[in-house]
Amino acid sequence: MSDKQKGLIRACDLVFPNAAHRFCVKHMHANFSSAGFKGEAFRKALWTVAKATTLAEFSSKIEEMAAIDIDAARWFDDKPPTQWSRAFFSTYSKCDILLNNLCECFNSKIVDTREKLIIKMMELLRLYLMQRMQQNRDLVRSRWKDNAYCPRIVDRIQKRMEKATQCFPFKSSDDLYEVSCPYGDHYAVNIKEQSCSCRRWELTGIPCSHAISAL
């Protein structure tokens, strides 16, 4: 999140008062570096923490960062992890993005719209989104009509299928599985609820490698 989105955020807050905002981790890294924490080790540590999907993994990665430099870990004390780490993201939106490219692209399309009065602005946004979604539907029908899913999703599933070959599922009941992975990690998968204890399935709506192994 940056100051460029302030006008839009305030307008959205009127309509969606409980909406969760997120920081752009790329911008966070820039500020992190400006604070004196430069170098590849700090960059990797920050992104590892941001990509953590469970509280246990988040805590573990923060401890690893603290082992590098305790002040680096303390730099995040005043930055709510709900806004920059997947471990704290809501699973409702099915979106785990850590960058604000989507917001910046959207903002560039509504420069004139966001200057209107609130009702007019919302009507123009509704019209733009309605047309945009239909354009995407038409694109899918014309370009990928023989595919069940769009190429990017298929690519992600294929990569997770490759990882699934390293997992071993153990059936507990009709819908429950315990999945054993390399390095001793174990995950609970619920097929009926479409969930896994790694939270990746819930965060994106796309089965994780553990769920694929169980399926």
In 3D, which of 115, 149, 113 has the Cα closest to residue 131?
113
Residues in the chain: 215
Mean residue pLDDT across the chain:
88
What pLDDT does residue 10 have? 45
What pLDDT does residue 108 have? 85
* Shared-domain flag, residues 74 and 15: yes
| Spatial CB neighbours of 105, under 8 Å, sequence gap ≥ 6 | none
- Alpha-carbon distance of 52 to 214, in angstroms, equals 22
Low-confidence winner among 63-77, 101-115, 170-184 (lowest mean pLDDT): 101-115
* Shared-domain flag, residues 20 and 80: yes
Question: Where does the pLDDT of residue 17 fall: very low under 50, low under 70, confident under 90, or very high at 90 and above?
Answer: very low
Q: Quick check: is 65 in a domain?
A: yes
Number of structural domains found in the chain = 3
Mean pLDDT of 150-168: 92
Is the pLDDT assigned to residue 119 strictly greater than 90?
A: yes
Q: Cβ–Cβ contacts within 10 Å for residue 101, how many?
A: 10
**Percentage of residues in the chain having pLDDT higher than 70:** 91
Higher pLDDT, 139 or 63: 63
What pLDDT does residue 100 have? 85
Q: Quick check: is 133 in a domain?
A: yes
What pLDDT does residue 142 have? 87
What pLDDT does residue 144 have? 82
What pLDDT does residue 20 have? 67
What pLDDT does residue 19 have? 53
Q: Quick check: is 83 in a domain?
A: yes
* Shared-domain flag, residues 20 and 74: yes
* Shared-domain flag, residues 156 and 136: no
* Shared-domain flag, residues 70 and 127: no
DSSP 207: -
Mean pLDDT of 169-177: 95
Q: Quick check: is 103 in a domain?
A: no
Is the pLDDT assigned to residue 15 strictly greater than 50?
A: no
Mean pLDDT of 60-80: 96
What pLDDT does residue 135 have? 94
pLDDT tens, residue by residue, 31-47: 999 999 999 999 999 99
Q: Quick check: is 98 in a domain?
A: no
Mean pLDDT of 190-209: 96
Q: Quick check: is 139 in a domain?
A: yes
- C-alpha distances out from residue 177 to 39, 154, 162, 181, Å: 41, 24, 19, 13
* Shared-domain flag, residues 157 and 134: no
The CA-to-CA distance between both ends of the chain, in Å, stands at 37
Q: Quick check: is 96 in a domain?
A: no
Mean pLDDT of 142-166: 88
Q: Quick check: is 93 in a domain?
A: no
* Shared-domain flag, residues 131 and 164: no
Range of the domain at 186: 151-214
Higher pLDDT, 19 or 32: 32
* Shared-domain flag, residues 56 and 120: no
**β pairing state of 186-190 and 168-171:** unpaired
* Shared-domain flag, residues 82 and 129: no
* Shared-domain flag, residues 193 and 209: yes
What pLDDT does residue 188 have? 97
Joined together, the tokens standing for residue 184 give 């001793």
* Shared-domain flag, residues 197 and 162: yes
Is the pLDDT assigned to residue 205 strictly greater than 50?
A: yes
* Shared-domain flag, residues 23 and 60: yes
